[in-house]
Amino acid sequence: MSTVASITREVEKEIEGFLGGLESNSIVFEYKEQSGHMKLDLITVNPRHKQSFLFHSTEGLTKEDCLFKMLAYLREYKVKESSYTVQWSLMGAEVLHTSYFRANNILSALDKFYHGRDLNSIVVFSVVLNPIA
């Protein structure tokens, strides 16, 4: 394995550690090259209902740059962002699910919730800003 690839995997493992309690197959690193730079979407997959949600996005010059920016975000996000609870159901299903997001505002929380999916595939029943603990 090349040095760059081993650094990439090492930082991905460190990021997975910050997301404690999730299996490694519940964390997806989605890299996209865009106009001479790289974008990283960190996706989490809930093991109960198998739905995926955006945890956070970063942009950088390389994969490694994105990963180090993601690591910096993970070290601070709990004190810088608010916690939101979203209650939702898949369209046509009767099961109510609850998911949690950290975001700067309610619109950002919903952007993370709807990332990569059809807006008409899910019914959102409530979005609540959680009290500061």
Query: pLDDT tens digit string along 53-107?
Result: 999 999 999 999 999 999 999 999 989 999 999 999 999 999 999 999 999 999 9
107 is written with which tokens?
A: 């619109």
Choice among 25-29, 30-34, 69-73 with the minimum mean pLDDT: 25-29
Task: Sort residue 11 into left (φ over 0), alpha (ψ -120 to 50) or beta.
Answer: alpha
Of residues 71 and 23, more confidently modeled: 71
Answering whether pTM is above 0.85, one says: yes
Which phi and psi (to 5°) does residue 20 adopt?
-45, 145
Question: How is residue 131 annotated by DSSP?
Answer: P
31 is written with which tokens?
A: 């890299």
